Structure 1
Amino acid sequence: MEIIQSRQNALVKTCVKLASHRRERLKSGVTLLDGPHLIRAALDAGLPPQRLLVAAGAVDKPEIVDLLGRFDGVPAVLADTLFGELTELESSSGILAVWPVPAAPAPRRDGLVLALDGVQDPGNVGAMLRTAAAAGVAQAWLSPACADAWSPKVLRAGMGAHFLLPLVERADLPALLADFGGRRAATLLQGSVPLYAADLRGDLALVMGSEGGGVSEEVAALTELRLRIPMRAGLESLNVGAAAAICLYERLRQAGGEAVQADPA
């Protein structure tokens, strides 16, 4: 194992930048996975990390020993205080990974696609990706105004969804929706139909809008199916993550109730 005790170490400096700067993640093509769950999920998906960093006080923990045994490279062991400066978790997980972000796939023209239009809260983005992966979504598109899908906060909220769901970031949603071969739906009030009265089967691109402004006008103009979720009068709109879950699982119910792994083509 490589022992690291200095903040001036090149690997430590890189991790500090990756944890806090989207530009660094974009430039280097790597990000940080924080905690055993994410690292195990990446390994299970056949997507191994480049480096593992372990807190000195955690090297003997059984779950970390197991992960080290699955890693082909040389792990770096950091003093506990130094490791604590790299993690955003209040209770240190004891392990971090430098992980290469996969190349974006070609945008789909069919299947079930979830498009996020300016969703900015990392927790919402991660939760929606997690729901999308569970509900059998084939691909997710994130507009440039969305939170960075590969930030540590979104990765934690996604709980491994990133390793199962192909993502297209900084997506030109109007262009992709115009080219989509199926129907395009969005949660909008004007001209909408109740969610449970809509036919969601077949090729479908479902657009969810930002927390404050909803779906942008340019994107809304491209949708032919406008959905509203029935709600008790007097309440504000649902959280966008909850709304996405309701819509996706209504689609799953209509499709027969079983989430199938999407064809990667």
Structure 2
Amino acid sequence: MKHITSRENALFKELKQLASSSQARRKAALTILDGVHLCQAYLEHSGQPVWCVVSETSQQNPEVAALLASAENALVLSDGLYEQLSQVEHGVGIFFVASIPTLSPPNQLNETAVVLDNLQDPGNVGSLLRSAAAAGIEHVFCSPGTVSAWSPKVLRAGMGAHFLLRIYENTDLLSFLNPLVATGSIPVLATSSYAAQTVYQVNLNRPVIWMFGHEGQGLSDQLMDCATEQITIPHQGKIESLNVAACAAICFFEQVRQSLDD
């Protein structure tokens, strides 16, 4: 176990870059998992982190002590140095530095998947990933314009869902979808307020690809053209549309309901 007490320490400077810069995280293919729950989930599903970083005081916390004992590479920082790195107010005092998986999209797909086109809000993306994992969905394809799925904010909102998913970032969505649409191998569904059929009427007791777009602009026209079916989510009141994460959760769990009723 290493102890760091100086801000001039080279490893501390590297950690500070990772904690504060998305560019540094992309370049190093590393991210920050802040908090006990994310660290526990990572150990359970993904193995050892690059670093387990804790504050001096947090070692007294039983949950932190257990994680520290399970981690092979541990760093203890003075409380003052740790506070310069943590992005969570009143956190418990532990984070992991973990590798970001790099995956190539599969050539064929015969199970339910999610496509995200240019989503911008980390909370929306994290919540959507959490719902997808809870619904038993494994594959998520993100366009280059979508917020980084492995950013600390998205990870915190996902609450460990990332480690149950295969997330394909910077995917050319049209190149991925067009062959599937051409062969008719799997339905591609998009939500639209103009659709004739509701999510409760369409057959979801089968693998489908769900597409969700930008919070304000929705899916691009090109991606909407890829949809083999469009559906709407009926709602009451004078709200024009639903939050994209809420919309996705309704779709995912209607699919779960139909599978259970089969």
TM-score bucket of the superposed structures, by smaller chain: over 0.9
| 2:130 is aligned with 1:126 | no
Matching of residues 82-231 of structure 1 within 5 Å: 82-107=81-106, 108-180=108-180, 181-231=185-235
Task: Quote the Cα distance in structure 2 between the aligned partners of 1:97 and 1:11.
Answer: 14
TM-score when scaled to structure 1? 0.92
Task: Quote the Cα distance in structure 2 between the aligned partners of 1:202 and 1:208.
Answer: 19
- Further displaced range: 132-141 or 248-257: 248-257
TM-fit CA distance, 1:34: 0.6
TM-fit CA distance, 1:11: 2.1
Correspondence for 1:263:
none
How large is the Cα RMSD of the aligned pairs? 1.6
Correspondence for 2:248:
244
Task: Quote the Cα distance in structure 2 between the aligned partners of 1:152 and 1:165.
Answer: 16
Residue by residue over 1:46-65, the C-alpha shift from the partner in whole angstroms, topping out at 9 and shown as x without a partner, is: 42101111101111210011
Task: Quote the Cα distance in structure 1 between the aligned partners of 2:159 and 2:225.
Answer: 33
Correspondence for 1:37:
37
TM-score when scaled to structure 2? 0.93
Secondary structure of 1:196 counterpart = coil
Task: Quote the Cα distance in structure 2 between the aligned partners of 1:20 and 1:131.
Answer: 28
Task: Quote the Cα distance in structure 1 between the aligned partners of 2:200 and 2:152.
Answer: 36
* Conserved 8 A contact 2:34-2:96: yes
Residue by residue over 1:181-237, the C-alpha shift from the partner in whole angstroms, topping out at 9 and shown as x without a partner, is: 300001112344211111122221000111110111110001011111001142121
Secondary structure of 1:85 counterpart = helix
The number of residue pairs the alignment matches comes to 257
Q: 2:229 corresponds to which letter in structure 1?
A: L
Task: Quote the Cα distance in structure 1 between the aligned partners of 2:233 and 2:187.
Answer: 18
Correspondence for 1:72:
72
* Conserved 8 A contact 2:105-2:171: no
Structure 1 gaps of 5+ residues are 259-265
Correspondence for 2:58:
58
Secondary structure of 1:54 counterpart = strand
Distance of aligned partners of 1:233 and 1:92 in 2 relative to their CA distance in 1, 3 Å threshold: closer
Structure 2 gaps of 5+ residues are none
